[in-house]
Every structure is written in structure tokens, then in C-alpha cells.
Structure 1
Amino acid sequence: MGISILIGCFILLIMIRVPIALALIVSSLATGLYLDIDVAALMQRMVGGLNAFSLIAIPFFILAGEIMNEGGISRRLINFSNLIIGKIRGGLAMVNVLTSTFFGGISGSSVADTSSVGSVMIPMMKKKGYDTDYSVSVTVSSAAQGVIIPPSHNMIIYSMAAGGVSIGSLFIGGLLPGIILGLALMITTYIIAVKRNYPKEERVPAKEVPRIVSEGLMGLLTPIIIIGGIVSGVFTATESAAIAAVYAFIITFFVYRDVPLSHVKVILFRSVKTLSMVLFLIAASSPFGWLLAYLRVPAQITEGLVSFSDNPIVILLLINIILLMLGMIMDMAPLILIATPILLPVVTSLGMDPVHFGVLLMLNLSIGLITPPVGSALFVGSAIGKLQIEKLFKSLMPFYITMIIVLLIVTFVPQMVMFLPDLIVN
């Protein structure tokens, strides 16, 4: 009965469009009252959920991303990507994917990637003769890399929910799958571009090359500082995030100088707004997760999956299907906080490393970000391209197939995730 109240109340509140954080709190309180658990104990769980040193890195990552987003880094990365692959057939679409790969490593957010890169690339592609549905599909599908390519504040949330998995290992573990996903999407865009005879880009004048390269590399130093600092042991994740925010501030306001210093107030406001939502979700999910463990939900799910099949391949396929379906109806951060304590014991019982599962979880839920009815990146791309969701969903099918193939490779080839962490971090 306790499980029915906890899960049923949460689902009911979500269906009537109550904000997820409030739904988590109300369902936890209702279950606690039924189980005669002191309400003060649940409130202490909320406060305790925020009492983690690793969470201090999140505001710095968000701030660094907002600063670089405001400072015109997307336009410079587009120019840099165009210099590398623009001359290929359908090169502008491949530029879109490569820019998202670079930008994802700076912002760590698919929605930020879609809005920043998409606001420039979608009108540019339409002007060059690319179909609108194709332009938006390339933008939103490539934006999914934003939560896999480090740094990603969602990986920090997972680290906390998983009981302190190494953030450095998660960042490094997501690097190769993110690159593979980018290459797979570029191949898909090229095949479609050849079929539709999309144009090549003109050669960049030689005198512009040094400026484009220097500006692009200065922006790309942000993720290099973060990853290099953590891997080398010079910085903790929190310290590297703070240094990256300072570096982003200097580059944006004193090197690029596209925006005045007065815009700092706008950047801080957006950063605090995003941070408030993230921390509220973390606090609200803490008593919910504790009640799940108290009611032995993870253990029962593990027993249920194992009793359904003792084949690890079947169980992992079922977990992927569950995560993909949940990603269609819920946003990423609350899903990480809810699914991790439930599914992590299942996969670890199969011998999967928590770092491997973290990257697998990120990739599953990133697909959810571009899948209706709740895909936030999908809605942003649709709004920028002025395109109906129904038409966009049909155009996205080749990209969905590509991402599912990469997901299956990541699931069943653990070396793709674990090779770099084992080599560099461990």
C-alpha cells in the first residue's frame, strides 16, 4: 500500500500538471503520513539531499555556460566548424553537428545547445536551401550530445544520486560515446544531404583563417580546463568549474567583447533561475528516494527483472526500453534522481560499472529530450524553426535510428565508456 501511495500519488499529480518537484514532495508526505513516519524526518532528508560538496560545482558550470552562451561563442564555433568540414556535400549540416559537439562541451545542456546554435544555424541552413524539417532535425538531434560530452551538470546530479561516483570518471567516460554519437549523426546528415543534393560551402578566405581558429580555440579551452584540471588532479570538479567560469567571464567580456559588462546582471539572473530549479528538484527527490529504499522498491524491481529473465542482454534491453519510455514523459534531472536508486542496483548485480551505467542513463535520457510529448530540446527547435511537432517528428526518424544504434553499442560494449577512465583516471 505504501508503494501504491508513493508511486500512484506521484503519477496522478504529474498527470494533472503539478510541477515535478511539488509532486515529489506531496507524494513523499502522503506516504510518510500513511507509514507513520515523522514529517520532520522527511524535511531533514530534503535538507540533507543538498548537503553534498560535489553540488557546489553545478552553479559554476551553469554560470560558465550562460556566460559563453551570451558572449557569441556559438557563432565562433560555427565559423571554426565550417573551416574544418564546410566544403563537404551538405557541409552546413555537418557543421551544425560539429558545433553542437563543441558547444555541448561548454554549456553541458541540450536545451542551451538547441537555442544558441539553432538560432544561428536553422535560419542559415534555410537560407542556403536546406529543408526546414531537416535543418531543425539536425539541430535538435545533435544537441543531445550536450549532456554526454563533458562537462555536464546532469552527470554531477547522477554522481550524487549514485552515492558519490567519481565525477572525473563520468566526464571522461562520456567523451568517447559523445564523439561516436557525433560522428554517427554526421554520417547520417551526409547520406541525406547527398540524396537531396544539398550544397557545399564556399572556401574560407585564407586571411580569415587565423582569426577563426584563434577565436574558436579560445572558446574550446573552457572544457579543456575543466577536464584537464580534474584528470590531472590539479583541481577538484568544483575548483575546475569555478576557474572555467572565471575564464569564460574574461573571454566573453574582455576578449570577444560582443556584449557589454552590464549584461552580467541578466546572466546572473538566468543562472540563479536555472540553479534554483535544479536544487529544488534535488531536495524534493531526496525523501522520495529514501522512501523508495525504505519500501524496498529497488530490491523488488531487481528481483522482478531477474525472475523475468536471467539473461543480462534481455535485462539491459528492458532497462533501455523503460528509460526511453520514461524520457518521453518526464524531464531529465528528476528522472536521474528517481531512476538511479532504482536501477543502479539492478545493473551492478549484472556486473555493470556505475560509470558505465551513468553514461548509459545520460544517453537514454538525452534521446528523451528530443522525443514528444515532453522533449524540451524538441520544443525549442520546433519554436525556432516555426515547425509543427508532428512534421518534425517524422523528419527525425533517421536520427532516432542512429541514436538507438549508438545506444545499443554503448550498452553492450562497455569498453567504449570504460576505456578512457580506466586508462587515465584509475
Structure 2
Amino acid sequence: MELAIVVLLVVFFGLLLLNVPISFCIGLATLATILLSVDFMPAVTTMAQRMAGGINSFALLAIPFFILSGLIMGRGGIAKRLIECAMALIGMLPGGLALVNVVSCMFFGAISGSAVAATSAIGSFMLPEMKKQGYDVNYSAAVTAAAATTGMLIPPSNILIVYAIASGGVSIAALFIAGYLPGILLGVALMIVCAGYAKIKGYPVGARLPLKLVVQKVAAALPSLFMIFLVIGGIISGIFTATEAGAIAVVYSLILAVGFYREVKTTELPGVLMKAAETTAIVMALIATSSAMSWILSYEQIPQAISAAMLTISENPLLILLMINLILLLVGAFMDMTPAVLIFTPIFLPVAVELGMSPLHFGIMMVLNLSIGLVSPPVGSVLFVSCAIAKTRIEAIIKPLMPLYLAMFVVLMLVTYIPAISEWLPAQFGF
């Protein structure tokens, strides 16, 4: 087992340092580890079988549907209307534009299920506007990146679907409902930081709009926001599954973007479909190779060894959970969320269950934790997108990110040690 761990880690991190794509790092490290036990052809065959088995799941069909609906929404003028709605509701508060940025990312993340999509769509509108109003460009980029992570918790979220598969039976519907309170709590914490920062820096306060105009802006955004109720309401009521909800989201987003708002032309749809196919292929490659790695970890009984080792260090649940969080924060800084969830769920979930933590609660904690990795160098994908839009450097936005990191960490600790934040809402719906 010791040799398997060494080979797995050396090959994985060696390839990662050479800038090899993460799915190839995972796949080749797994294959090298399998080769320790069997010959080349059986190893390759086993690897192929495990990869195919990893993506042979009806629940995973929801991911390409939600990716496609998110892309259509992103091009369909949805972001602009959500921003105008948020501006009308809270733009007059201290640090109004920063607060609007956070709320808009929460809205759009809840619709698209993608932090990168939220960063791109909202950032493209908000960053130039914040710069025009005198906000520091690095601070604006930091706010956009941090706020976009709320979409990982507020459903529909693709990563929650991945966790449901990795955990071996947690209800996707229960995870979707469980994500609401932590996601909103995260957004509120970021807004508190933004309001305080605006007071210190003396950023301008937006004008209060007439009630009639506020109603108009909210009404214009309601068709977009209705998608949240359509998808989640249908899943909770049992009318359709999460996968069927994804298909319905695609149909609804098409009706909205092509027919109602008329922001997307039918001639643009092939390009959107191609982009959705590319994104889906990347995600599925990650899931396939990560599933193979999870299998070899289980075969070598590595999760059991890690669990036993952690429980021998201490039997204090508070300390063990803190250790798990710190490890996941480090992992999130170097690895994409999808493989991290698939690889580390089988390792840490048994430990958490042993400590009395429910798989539902652990899943929300894990996703929130790894969401921080999306805005953490050196690999944070959301960080790169936000910097590219703002035309700034990653090192320049780390300082303004610090208070936002602190807010996210405080929320992570609250979610970790107060199970009711994750479990209360699902319990009200009978999960």
C-alpha cells in the first residue's frame, strides 16, 4: 500500500508540475498505480472499465443539460436583467455596486450552476460599471470572484450532483435544498464585508429609484428568476428528477432567450451547442478518470488507512473536522472541484460519518470548502476569469480578497460545526 501511495502521488504531482491537464494527471497516475499489481493489457482494460463505469450514471445526464441551459442563459440577456433588478433593490445601500455584484452573482449562479459562467456574465457588466463609479479595479475583481462561488451551493449546482454520485446514495434533491441556507449565508457574509469596505473607502452610494421603476426592473427579471422555482419546485414535488429538470431548464432557457427576450438568434445555437459539448467533455473526462482513481484508492484500502490514522491522532470531532477542512482547503488550491470531490469523498466521508456527521451535512461542507479553492491561487479558475475581465494580475487582487477569504472561512466554520444550517431545510421537506 505504501508503494502505491508513493507512485500515485509522485506521478500525479510530477505531471501537474509539467502543466499536464488535470484529467491526464489523474488518469496516468491511476494507470501507473494499477501497473504495480497487474500487467499492461489487464491494467489498461481495468482502467477503461472503471472510467466507463464512472460516467455510466443516469444522474450525470443532468450535468450536460444544466451546462447547456447555463450557456443559453449567459447569452440571453439574463445577466443584464438580473443586475438591473439587484440595482433597483439594493443599489442605494453603502457600497451599492459591490452589493449588487454579489446579489447578481447569487442570482445568476442559481440559474446557471456555474461559478465561471457567473464570473464571466456578471463581471463583464459589473466591472466596467464599478470602475466608472470610482471603485478600485482589483477590489471589484476580488468581489466578483468571491461572489461567484455562491452558485456552487445555491442550486441547481453541477458539483452537488457529482457529490451525490461520489457519496453513493445521497439524494440530489436533498443536496439542492440543503445548499440554499449556506449559499445565502455566504452571500450575506460577503455583502457585510463589502458594505464595511465601502464605508472605509468612501465609495459612492447609488440613487434611490422611483417605486414604479423598481417594479419594472424586478418584473423584467422575474421570467429569469422563475427558472429557479421551476427546477427546484419540480424536483421537490417529485414531478421530475434532477436529470429531467436539466432537460426542462434547457427548454425553458431556449424559450426565454430565443423567443421572449430575443437576445439569442437561432443561427447562434450551433455555436452554443458546440461550447456545451466541449465543456461537458472536459467534465466527463474528469469524472471518468477520478472514478478510476477512487477505485484504485479503495482497492489499495487507502481510505481505510487514512481514516484509522486520523482517528488515532485524536477522537475530538471538532479537531478532526478542522483537520479535514484544512486538508481540503489545500487540495482546493491545487485541484479542480470535480476530481477533488470524486477522489476525497471516499476518503473523508467515512471519517465524518464515524464522527456522527451525516453525508448530507458533509457534502455541503465539502463543496463550500472547495469553492474557496476556486478563488485561491495558483489554480483557482474563477480567479483567472475575473482577472482576465478586469485586465489585472492575480497577485494584485490577493490583498483585497483577504477580508473576503476571512468571511468565507467564517461561514465554512459555521456550516461545519452547526449541522442545522445544512440539514434544517431538507428536514422541512421530508428528506
Per the normalisation by structure 1, the TM-score is 0.98
What are the superposed Cα offsets for residues 393-419 of structure 1, whole Å, 9 maximum, x if unpaired? 011101000000000000000100000
**What does residue 190 of structure 1 align with?**
195
Matched, 1:110 2:140: no
- SS in structure 2 at match of 1:328: helix
Bigger shift: residues 193-202 or 72-81? 193-202
Matched-pair contact (CA < 8 Å) for 1:168–1:425? no
- SS in structure 2 at match of 1:254: helix
**What does residue 50 of structure 1 align with?**
55
**What does residue 265 of structure 1 align with?**
270
**What does residue 229 of structure 2 align with?**
224
- SS in structure 1 at match of 2:179: helix
What are the superposed Cα offsets for residues 290-345 of structure 1, whole Å, 9 maximum, x if unpaired? 11001111101101111111101000000000000111111111111111111111
Matched-pair contact (CA < 8 Å) for 2:89–2:214? no
Matched, 1:167 2:172: yes
Question: Shift of the alpha carbon at 1:2?
Answer: 2.0
**What does residue 35 of structure 2 align with?**
33
Partners in 1 of 2:146 and 2:341 — Cα distance? 20
Equivalent residue runs for 1:379-394 within 5 Å:
379-394=384-399
What are the superposed Cα offsets for residues 34-73 of structure 1, whole Å, 9 maximum, x if unpaired? 1116222221111111111101111111111011001011
Matched-pair contact (CA < 8 Å) for 1:96–1:138? yes
Partners in 2 of 1:153 and 1:124 — Cα distance? 30
Partners in 2 of 1:408 and 1:287 — Cα distance? 31
Equivalent residue runs for 1:96-245 within 5 Å:
96-245=101-250
**What does residue 397 of structure 1 align with?**
402
AA in 1 matched with 2:338? A
**What does residue 246 of structure 1 align with?**
251
Bigger shift: residues 160-169 or 198-207? 198-207
Equivalent residue runs for 1:288-367 within 5 Å:
288-367=293-372
RMSD, matched Cα: 1.2
Partners in 2 of 1:16 and 1:103 — Cα distance? 35
Matched-pair contact (CA < 8 Å) for 2:167–2:346? yes
AA in 2 matched with 1:297? I
What are the superposed Cα offsets for residues 200-256 of structure 1, whole Å, 9 maximum, x if unpaired? 112334553343222211101112111111111111111111111100110111111
What are the superposed Cα offsets for residues 126-183 of structure 1, whole Å, 9 maximum, x if unpaired? 1011111221111111111011111101111111111121000111111000001111
What are the superposed Cα offsets for residues 13-37 of structure 1, whole Å, 9 maximum, x if unpaired? 1121211111222122222121116
Could you tell me which of 88, 97, 109 is aligned with 1:83?
A: 88
Question: Shift of the alpha carbon at 1:3?
Answer: 2.3
Question: Shift of the alpha carbon at 1:259?
Answer: 2.6
Partners in 2 of 1:121 and 1:237 — Cα distance? 31
Matched-pair contact (CA < 8 Å) for 1:2–1:35? no
- SS in structure 1 at match of 2:260: helix
Could you tell me which of 273, 281, 291 is aligned with 2:286?
A: 281
**What does residue 25 of structure 2 align with?**
23
AA in 2 matched with 1:77? L
AA in 2 matched with 1:5? V
Partners in 1 of 2:278 and 2:430 — Cα distance? 34
Partners in 1 of 2:9 and 2:357 — Cα distance? 27
What are the superposed Cα offsets for residues 345-396 of structure 1, whole Å, 9 maximum, x if unpaired? 1111111111111111111111000011111111111111112211200111
- Identity, in percent, stands at 48
Matched, 1:422 2:424: no
Q: Which runs of 4+ in 1 moved over 4 A?
A: none
Partners in 2 of 1:420 and 1:207 — Cα distance? 34
AA in 1 matched with 2:102? V
Question: 5+ residue gaps in structure 1?
Answer: none
Per the normalisation by structure 2, the TM-score is 0.97
Matched-pair contact (CA < 8 Å) for 1:103–1:146? yes
AA in 2 matched with 1:273? E
AA in 2 matched with 1:371? S
